[in-house]
Amino acid sequence: MADDIFEEDRVSVAERLAAEALIIDVDGFEGPLDLLLTLSRTQKVDLRKISVLDLARQYLAFVEKAKALRLELAADYLVMAAWLAFLKSRLLLPPDPTEEGPSGEDLAAHLAFQLERLQAMRDVAARLMARDQLGRDFFARGQAETVERVKRVTYTATLLDLMQGYARIRTRDDFRPFILDRDSVFTMEQALERMRPLMGYAGEWTDILSYLPEGWETDPVKLRSATASTFAASLELVKEGHMDIRQTELFAPIQLRKRK
Amino acid sequence: MSQDIDEQEQSLFEAPPIAEQERMVEAILFATAEPVTVKDLSARMPHGCDPAEALVYVRKRYEGRGVTLMKIGDAWAMRTAPDLGFLMQKETVETRKLSRAAIETLAIIAYHQPVTRAEIEEIRGVSVSRGTVDQLLEMEWIRFGCRKMTPGRPVTFVVTQAFLDHFGLENARDLPGLKELRSAGLLENRPPPGSMPGPGDAEEEETNEGQSELFED
Amino acid sequence: MSQDIDEQEQSLFEAPPIAEQERMVEAILFATAEPVTVKDLSARMPHGCDPAEALVYVRKRYEGRGVTLMKIGDAWAMRTAPDLGFLMQKETVETRKLSRAAIETLAIIAYHQPVTRAEIEEIRGVSVSRGTVDQLLEMEWIRFGCRKMTPGRPVTFVVTQAFLDHFGLENARDLPGLKELRSAGLLENRPPPGSMPGPGDAEEEETNEGQSELFED
């Protein structure tokens, strides 16, 4: 502790001012390594010859000041402070041969390497950005003629495809499942279609059989189908509310009339 | 008066050599999206430059090259040489297999021609989409035949010479019959799923009949 | 054997004279804003052409001109000479200003590629925000490289051809100061001795643990 105070006294006024300025915009730093790099500049030496011990002292002094000013430091700054305090003790004390792990020198060398590397990256980043840039210093073709992509699709088939296709159809016919022959079937849809336009004329009760399509009364099969679908269609029209339906007695004619 | 000032300025800022001006014109014309007038060039180049003269050099330099200097209205632009336009196209040919619907429709036309659309639909058991017929017409594998002498006089379809060429046929009658297809093992003997298997012999006779009918006339 | 076929083909489709090929390369490169690879040139030029040879002539022809031929990775592009940039104020495109973090991250990726996010963070001493990487990815200056063969198989980042094109680099080896950095040992991946504080220390330890667990059994 006494050491620290002594150290602080040795720090010049200019450095103290610089350190205070650092505190003011601690937010401007990108983490402890960035701060360490900035602090290292006060040593005004080649980064390879930097005194990590001095740097650790500077950093710890900075953290102390920040605490005194009641500035909230992010956790990683404090982690770094703790680590640097540990490093400082390692560097100051003679190495303990029984202790395992890297020596203080090793740790210090790596920190110096990290700082040098970060500085090097910043330097080359600046050199990179200072290069001639496309769209700023040199330019691409202003009016690029885009390559027209002509996509042509051709379809192809082989004789085999053709024959197999045909065989498929023909054999499908051979194996065709039973389908009702639709010639003598009058569907309900057809019945409805027939009845709708006639509806308007049905002011009086009329036998539904008078709605049968022409020519369907003669063939018994057709008659059956047409009668059934006409009846079903009549019920549908009643359900829709267009017609009334009645049957006076069992097996009597079923009659239809427009609803009034 | 203004000329005096010009002259003064010219002596103060000497114009770059014409070779340098030529480079400038070249770069500006290259990088600009629109054709550039001499006036525009003048405004962009250092004082004292003579873009009109530089343009003469540029034009000469690019004579017969892959890129040429062109005058468009009163402006100038660099364009690829007209004879190299074909390089700006990249044709990709994609070959696709004809759809099943198209193959079946085509097969029916080939085996039954001349055939109406209604007849195709009857044979296929499903309606034939307009797109399918259009595609086959576009490929020039089918064309319209004469109208059928039935009510409505529907159009018929027949296959074309291009179709015969593609499939290596001399005429549509060369198409193998069902019996040949079967003996060549091309006919799927297995009935489509869901349909009932019938006695093979009877069926074969039937189809033979159908086939011979087709090509009887 | 294949050479015989090649020769045969060459005699069948005679390639245009080299002067003509030069014109073609010139036209294609001139017309295209993006760098074009030799393979692309080959595909667009007639059969039997040797674009690589033609490129040598084109490069020579444009040496010292207002427009020059530049090599970018394995592709070629025409660009205006950098010394004439002052003429192009009109064409200058205002690029999005990159943050200091983004510039540093970009430089680290360029000089250390392929590099993982953790390695970038180690070098910068702070965690890399997602937005920074996203921005660089969006600009197409970086892309994902192959995964690193270390526990967790983390993805790596590398710079793209668009990056090289933007900074007028033929390849990443031409990055300014690369040699010096390498000889100074600053591009080595030197593991920290023992425990060193890193960015987001607590977190990292956790993930490391997780990862080692993953790969332990």
pLDDT tens digits, A156-177: 777 778 777 887 777 765 554 4
Kindly indicate the confidence band of residue A25, based on its pLDDT and cuts at 50, 70 and 90.
low
Better-predicted residue by pLDDT, B178 or B94: B94
Over 90: is that where the pLDDT of B149 sits? no
Local structure of C146: helix, strand or coil: coil
pLDDT for the residue numbered C8: 46
Domains C2-88 and C97-216 share a fold: yes
> Are C74 and C115 spatial neighbours (Cβ–Cβ below 8 Å)?
no
Length of chain A: 260
Task: Verify whether the Cβ–Cβ distance C82 to A132 is below 8 Å.
Answer: yes
Q: Using CA atoms, how far apart are residues A173 and B210, in angstroms rounded to an integer?
A: 11
Instruction: Report residue A211's pLDDT band, with 50, 70 and 90 as the boundaries.
Output: confident
Cα–Cα dist C84/C63, whole Å: 14
Q: Residue C126: how many CA atoms within 13 Å on its side-chain side?
A: 21
Q: Which amino acid appears at position A96 of this protein?
A: D
Question: What are the C-alpha distances in Å from B187 to residues A108, A162, B87, B194, B203?
Answer: 85, 11, 48, 18, 13
Q: Does C19 touch chain B (CB under 8 A)?
A: no
Q: Residue A256 pLDDT > 80, yes or no?
A: yes
Contact B69, B36 (CB under 8 A): no
| Residue C47 forms contact with B (CB below 8 Å) | no
Beta bridge partners of B143: B158
Tell me the residue length of chain B.
217
Report the pLDDT averaged over residues A128-144: 85
Residues of B in contact with A173 (CB under 8 A): 123, 125
Reported as a single tens digit per residue, the pLDDT across B23-47 is 999 999 999 888 899 999 999 999 8
pLDDT of residue A19: 63
The predicted model scores a pTM of 0.59
Give the tokens for residue B79: 């364009």
The arithmetic mean of pLDDT across residues A179-186, rounded, is 68
pLDDT in tens, B184-210: 665 544 444 444 433 333 333 333 333
Output the pLDDT for position C193. 77
Give the Cα separation of B36 and B74 in Å (integer).
8
| Beta-carbon separation of B80 and C43 below 8 A | no
d(CA C107, CA A128): 8
pLDDT above 70 as % of chain A = 82
How many Å separate Cα B162 from the centre of its chain? Answer: 18
Q: Nearest Cβ partner of A142 from B31, B106, B195? A: B31
According to the model, what pLDDT value does residue A18 have? 67
Between residues C107 and A239, the one the model is more confident about: C107
C-alpha B121 chain-centroid distance:
31
Residues A195, A234 contacting (CB under 8 angstroms): yes
Q: How confident is the model at residue A222 (pLDDT cuts 50, 70, 90)?
A: confident
> Domain extents for chain B?
2-88, 97-216
pLDDT digit string, tens, across residues C148-188? 888 888 889 999 999 999 999 998 899 999 999 999 889 98
- Encoded tokens for C116: 């993982």
The answer, yes or no, to whether the previous bond of C114 is cis (omega within 30 of 0) is yes
pLDDT value at residue B200? 36
Chain-chain contact of A101 with C44 (C-beta, under 8 angstroms):
no
Token pair listed for A20:
């205070």
In angstroms, the CA B106 to CA B190 distance is 23
The answer to whether ipTM exceeds 0.95 is no
CB of B136 less than 8 A from some CB of C: no
CA Rg value for chain B:
36
pLDDT at C67: 93
Q: What distance in Å separates the CA atoms of residue B5 and residue C100, rounded to the nearest whole number?
A: 48
φ/ψ region of C73 (left if φ > 0, alpha if ψ in -120 to 50, else beta) reads: left
Residue C5's pLDDT band (boundaries 50, 70, 90)?
very low
What topology does CATH give the domain C97-216? Answer: Arc Repressor Mutant, subunit A (1.10.10)
- Give the pLDDT score at A103: 81
Helices (H), A130-202: 159-174, 188-198
pLDDT at C217: 33
Question: Tokens 């509806």 correspond to what residue?
Answer: A199
- The CATH number of the domain covering residues in B2-88: 1.10.10.10
Chains interfacing with B (3 or more CB pairs < 8 Å): A, C
Q: Using alpha carbons, select from A173, A177, A179 the residue that is nearest to residue B187.
A: A173
Which of B172, B169, B168 is closest to B157 using CA atoms?
Answer: B172
CB < 8 Å to C76, chain A: none
pLDDT at B103 over 80: yes
Q: How many CA atoms lie within 13 A of B47 on its CB side?
A: 10
Q: DSSP letter at B185?
A: T
Tokens for A231, please give them.
Answer: 């009846």
Per-residue pLDDT, C50: 93
Shortest CB distance from A175 goes to which of B135, B195, B210?
Answer: B195
Burial of B213 (0-12, 13-18, 19+ CB in 10 A): exposed
Query: Does pLDDT of C1 surpass 50?
Result: no
Range of weakest confidence among A13-17, B55-59, C17-21, C95-99? A13-17
Distance between CA A57 and CA A46 in Å, rounded?
18
Q: Which helix (H) or strand (E) holds A206?
A: strand A206-207
Residue B13 confidence class, pLDDT cut points 50, 70, 90: low
Selecting from B23, B25, B66 the residue whose C-beta is nearest the C-beta of C30 gives B66
The stretches of A69-158 forming alpha helices (DSSP H) are 75-92, 104-129
**Nearest neighbour of B30 by CB, restricted to A141, A157, A161:** A141
Q: How far apart are the first and last CA of chain B?
A: 102
Q: What percent of chain B has pLDDT over 90?
A: 20
What part of B 56-115 touches C (C-beta under 8 Å)? 64-67, 78, 80-81, 84, 87-88, 90
In B98-172, where do the E strands start and end?
A: 115-116, 142-144, 156-159
Q: Do A128 and C175 touch (CB under 8 A)?
A: yes
For B10-17, the CB contacts below 8 A with 24+ separation are: B10/B47, B10/B48, B13/B46, B13/B47, B13/B48, B14/B48, B15/B46, B15/B47, B15/B48, B15/B49, B15/B50, B16/B46, B16/B49
Residue written as token pair 């294949």: C2
Confidence of residue C121 (pLDDT cuts 50, 70, 90): very high
Query: Residue C23: what pLDDT?
Result: 93
